[in-house]
Structure 1
Amino acid sequence: GMETVEDITIEESKDSRSCLRICVTNPSIREDTLSKYVIYTVQGLDNQGDFERVRRYTDFVKLRMLLIENWPTCYVPPIPPKQVIGNFASQFIESRRKMLNHFVSKISELSYLYHAEEFQQFIRGPEDYEKATSLKQSICSIEPKFTSNFEEFNQEEVSDQRIQTIAGFEKFAKSNFVSLKEFKETVKTVKLQYEQFRYLMNGFSKKFTEVESQYLNYFGTVNIFTPLSAEAQENPFETLYEWIKFEIVDLKSMLQVVEHRYFLDNEKYKAECKVSEYNKRISKLQSGKSSIKQMLSTKSKEQNISSTEAKLAQKEKEIKAFSMVIRIALNRLGAYELPKFQEKKTKEYKTMMQQFSSLLQSEFQTFNHSAEESLKKSQS
């Protein structure tokens, strides 16, 4: 089975959690000559004091991409997907704000991401977050962050069980997307039809009451029909729909994190190819063979050898860094990130089902009450 999170002790640094508050508020539409866009205020307070920045949706996209690249295989919460039409409808803006708010609050729970330069620049840095593009890091800068933040995953080789956990999740997520998307469409239809049904039932209830009272007036029978309660209630299927919409996005973001390991493997392989290329070049130079490019070069043979050796040393350093990061990443994914994700999903699903079931129950109690009362009266 899967390792549980308890198997591994994780020190989530509590240093600033106690006084940490962060939220995305106050969305407003801005227009300049060429474009129209929505800005959001990101504000909060932590042990460094308070902060407030105005950010666009594209800044959030940029931030998330940077976190994924600079913290490979670490879970980064999702942001709402891009949408082309209906971007300025107030309902859309509000649901996007909610999800962006969820994004920053989840990051604030992951101290290594919260204190990372990419995120600090986002909440405290220049007005123009595009300037932060220089924050993309090389593997040699990523490796020391990994060894200092996740040293407990650096001790051992990656076990087969952990590899299986990772592969198992990947298989599950990919095969599940199709059915989740289909279910989302089903729920959407039911949700809309249900609104319609409610609307019709309200009209029906009013009409029935009218007809019955006219009927009674003439025949002198007793009032039997008990009208449906007209209280506005939350549509139970709305809860289900919101859950599944988020679920698809969240699974996608976890899959993106898990698949990032292929990118690391590939980059490491490229570095290894370079190493063998430099080694061949050095032995050619030493044996006195030289390419046309080197013949035309003003550098001496010794200079050519030493500059190639410097490149070789750099690539070897990168390969070491890749190996270290990949090992930590796979250990973290298999022993911590995925079990934690599984636990979170189970909890979220239970919460949603509680809401959904209790809404559905109170919904049908309304019908039940009307039917029971009417039945009693008709039998008396």
Structure 2
Amino acid sequence: MNQSDEAEITLLVCDPKIIPGINKYIVYTIKGMDKNGQFDIQRRFSDFKTIRQFLLTKWPGCYIPPVPPKKAFGNMEQQFIDERRAMLEDFLKRIAALKFLWYSEEFQIFLKTPGEIEKALLSIPKITNDEIINKYQDTFQDLSGREINREIIQKINDFKAFIKKVQPMVQNFKQIAKNIAEAKQSHQIILIDFIIRVIPQYENTLLLEYVEQQEKLPFTNILQIEEVKGLIDQYCELLKDPKLYQLYQEVRKEGKQLKAFLETFSEREKYEYQKANAESRQKELELQLQEVLAGKTTIRTLFSKGKKDENIAKLQFQITEVGKEIESYQFICDILTVLVGYVEIDKFKVEKQYQYYSMIKSIISYQSRLSEIEEKLWSKVLESEYLQQQQQ
């Protein structure tokens, strides 16, 4: 693809603020810099959905990353606001990686034009078939000459069928991941309380009565050791990290991404449908022309105005124009077939691999670190003099 070296894009989505009123909503500040200079603007969640829809329309056949899902209830809770802010920032970073989208007219309007975004975007004229062809030929020059064959068509159809097949499975995975994350988080909260409060309280209120000597309280005594204090602090901080919640978020994100890729197929199919309609119109016009040339009187010719020669010329002109329309639709369909078959599917697969391996690596590193600190902490407890005596 023709993505020239642009100045590095920096961006941040920050400072979510609740705007009071009958229908409260949240605005997010988007700030950063690109080759056109600095930007610092406020947008609400619906604005992100609006720009994504415009990108789908203006760049048919291109995979447009999804925005976070909408939530009817609890969307003013701080945890949800923080999660959505991170997801919106991730959406913008994915757009920034695709320079042809980032520097498109519609996205620059979203990024740098104050006020109502939908009104500003609607001022952009609708894109014509010729404009799509010219834009794609310029943007995707490296796809020139790629062959459209049965294998590439089969690849597209197979991947579309795959997405439809696995969507219910991903929804199931999402629920499983959510249950695991919530159970793990609940367990870790209880474990922190057990270490920080329950064990010391038991030793000082009950065990002390049994052993009658403060120095015989194994856990309470090691809490005075700086090394142990540090281990407990590290351990509790790790327990507070809802790492497995990231697994749920990734699976949740994957469901949205699969749905977004189906939209990529839909945009391509839309032009195939329009081409088929144009071909039907052309056949109908050709049939009318044959009837006029044969001098037949039909319902269509009965109510047509003008002389026979004028009707013939008019029909011939319409047939020629529809033929041009069919050619443009065919050209666009070919471009989108090449784009989806040679670029978007492969790119999507690579991205999913990277996301999965990064997530698993992060979780495994977390669990390893947690186990390491846990072993050190409880080993220190086992080293207590009076626990050693009880083992003998």
Shared fold (TM-score, shorter chain, > 0.5) = yes
SS in 1 for 2:184: helix
**2:213 maps to 1:224:** no
TM-score (norm 1): 0.85
1: distance between equivalents of 2:202 and 2:44?
A: 56
Which residue of 2 is the match for residue 99 of structure 1? 87
Q: Is the 8 A contact 1:78 1:250 kept in 2?
A: yes
Change (3 A) 1:314 1:348: same
Find 1:166's aligned residue among 139, 156, 162: 156
Name the CA distance, whole Å, in 2 between partners of 1:374 and 1:302.
104
Q: CA distance change for structure 1 residues 87 and 289 in 2, over 3 Å: closer, same or farther? A: farther
Of 156, 162, 167, the match for 2:146: 156
Tell me the percent identity.
27
Residue number in structure 1 paired with 2:228: none
Corresponding letter in the other structure for 1:373: K
Residue 271 of structure 1 aligns to a residue in which SS?
A: helix
2:362 — aligned with what?
355
Match of 2:227 in 1: none
Greater C-alpha Rg: 2
**Alpha carbons of structure 1 residues 11 and 150: separation in structure 2 relative to 1, 3 Å:** closer
For 1:332 and 1:64, locate their aligned partners in 2 and report how far apart those are by CA, in whole Å.
19
Could you tell me which amino acid in structure 2 is paired with residue 343 of structure 1?
A: V
Please give the residue correspondences for 1:120-139 in structure 2 after superposition, counting only pairs within 5 Å. 120-125=108-113, 127-131=115-119, 132-133=121-122, 135-139=125-129
Is 1:288 the equivalent of 2:295? yes
SS at match of 1:360: helix
Relative distance call for 1:130 and 1:314 in structure 2 (3 A) is farther
Match of residue 171 from structure 2: 181
* Alignment deviations for residues 73-130 of structure 1 (CA, whole Å, 9 cap, x no partner): 2111111122222232233233222222222222122122123222223224473332
Contact kept in structure 2, 1:275 and 1:316, CA below 8 Å = yes
Q: Is the 8 A contact 1:63 1:118 kept in 2?
A: yes
Q: Contact between 2:26 and 2:44, CA under 8 Å: does it hold in 1? A: yes
**Is the contact between residue 2 and residue 140 of structure 2 (CA under 8 Å) also seen in structure 1?**
no
1:118·1:135 contact (CA, 8 Å) conserved in 2? no
Q: Which of 48, 53, 59 is the equivalent residue of 1:65?
A: 53
Cα offsets for 1:4-29 (capped at 9, x unmatched): xxxxxx44221x3x243344333333
- Residues 1:56 and 1:260: Cα distance change in structure 2 (over 3 Å): same
Query: Could you tell me which amino acid in structure 2 is paired with residue 143 of structure 1?
Result: I
Sort the Cα spacing of 1:113 and 1:207 in 2 relative to 1 into closer, same or farther, 3 A.
closer
Q: What is the match of residue 20 of structure 1?
A: 9
Could you tell which deviates more after superposition, 62-71 or 47-56? 47-56
CA distance in 1, matches of 2:105, 2:378: 62
Cα distance change, pair 283–118 in 1 and its aligned pair in 2 (3 A): farther
Classify 1:295/1:113 alpha carbon distance in 2 versus 1 (closer, same or farther; 3 Å).
same
Secondary structure at the aligned position of 2:67 is classed as coil
Matches within 5 A, 1:21-100: 21-31=10-20, 35-100=23-88
Counterpart residue type for residue 97 of structure 1: R
Higher relative contact order (CA 8 A, sep 6+): 1
Residues of 2 paired with 1:208 and 1:317: CA distance?
82
**TM-score relative to the length of structure 2:** 0.83
For 1:222, give the aligned amino acid: K
Matches within 5 A, 1:205-354: 205=195, 206-213=197-204, 214-216=206-208, 218-219=210-211, 220=213, 222-225=216-219, 229-230=232-233, 231-233=236-238, 234-289=241-296, 291-292=298-299, 295-296=302-303, 298-354=305-361
Farther off after superposition, 304-313 or 353-362: 304-313
Count of equivalent residues? 368
Distance 1:92 1:306, change over 3 A: farther
Change (3 A) 1:223 1:24: closer
**The residue matched to 1:319 in structure 2 has which SS?**
helix
For structure 1, the 5+ residue unaligned runs are: 1-9
Q: Do the aligned residues in 2 keep the contact of 1:150 with 1:328 (CA within 8 Å)?
A: no
Residues in 1 aligned to 2:109 and 2:309: alpha-carbon distance in whole angstroms: 45
Residue 55 and residue 204 in structure 1: after superposition, are their counterparts in 2 closer, same or farther (change >3 A)?
Answer: closer
Paired letter, 1:144: N
SS of the equivalent of 1:156 reads coil
Rate the CA distance shift 1:83–1:320 in 2: closer, same or farther, 3 A.
Answer: same
Over residues 254-301 of structure 1, what are the superposed CA-to-partner deviations in whole Å (9 max), with x where a residue is unaligned?
232134332222221111111111212222233334555655555444
